[in-house]
Chains A and B, each alone.
Chain A
Amino acid sequence: QLQLQESGPGLVKPSETLALTCTVSGGSISTTSYYWGWIRQPPGKGLECIGSIYHSGSTYYNSSLKSRVTISIDTSKNQFSLKLSSVTAADTAVYYCARLNGYEKFDYWGQGTLVTVSS
C-alpha cells in the first residue's frame, strides 16, 4: 500500500521560506504516469493545488504562487519537496502531499501537516 508522509517545521516566521518534504513508501516515486503534488488548506477555507512534479523533474505550478514556489524531487530517497518563499500569515495552512494519477485525480494523500506563519 502506497503511503505518503509530510515532514517539516510547523512554525515559520514571516518573510522566511517554508520547506516541507514528502516521503513516499510502498512504491517508487519514479513510476511512470504519475505526478506528485502539493495541496494546501488554509484554516476554514477550501483546498488549493500548489503544484506538481514528475520524476524527470518537470514541474507545474499554480499561477498565483508560481513566483514563490519551488517543487523538487529526489528519486534516490523516494522524496519530493516544497519550498515557498516570502511567506505571510496567508500561507498558514495544512499542507498535503499526494500522488496525481492522470489529469486530476489525487489517489493517495499524506495525512497533512499544519504550518503556521507567525513571528
Chain B
Amino acid sequence: QSALTQPRSVSGSPGQSVTISCTGTSSDVGAYNFVSWYQHHPGKAPKLMIFDVNKRPSGVPDRFSGSKSGNTASLTISGLQAEDEADYYCCSYAGSYTLVFGGGTKLTVL
C-alpha cells in the first residue's frame, strides 16, 4: 500500500487560511469516507483533528475543517494561529482493516 501524497510544506500568515491536500487512489481515499487528519508537534503525541473526512473531535476548534473530492482529501485551517505550526498527517482506510498515512506536511506560520 503506497503512502498518500501530501505537499511537503505549506505556509501562511496569522489570520490567513491554508489548505493541505492529501491525494490517494480509488482504493483508499476515493473508496471510503474514512479519512482522518493528525496534528503533530515534534516530541509530542499526534493529535486527532478530523475524522470521517469532516468531523471534529470534541475540543478541536472549528477553524479546522475537512473535505473530500474524488481521490483527494483536504484539511483547511482558517484564522491561522502561531500554535497551529506543526506537522500534519492524513490517514485513510484502505479496506481489509488496512490504514495508510500520508507523508506529512510541515505547516509554517509566518
List A residues at the B interface (Cβ < 8 Å). Answer: 39, 45-49, 52, 60, 62-64, 96, 102-107, 109-112
Contacts and interface: CB of A to CB of B under 8 A. Distances in A.
A93 to B, nearest CB: 13
B46 A109 contact: yes
A117 B36 CA distance: 30
Which range contains the number of B residues in contact with the other chain? 20 to 34
A46 B98 contact: no
Given A103-B34, A104-B92, A105-B51, 8 more contacts: A47-B89, A48-B3, A48-B101, A104-B51, A104-B91, A105-B52, A106-B38, A112-B45
Interface of B: 1, 3, 32, 34-36, 38, 40, 44-48, 51-52, 57, 89, 91-93, 96-104
A39 B35 CA distance: 16
Interface centre among B1, B92, B99, B102 (most CB of A within 10 A): B99
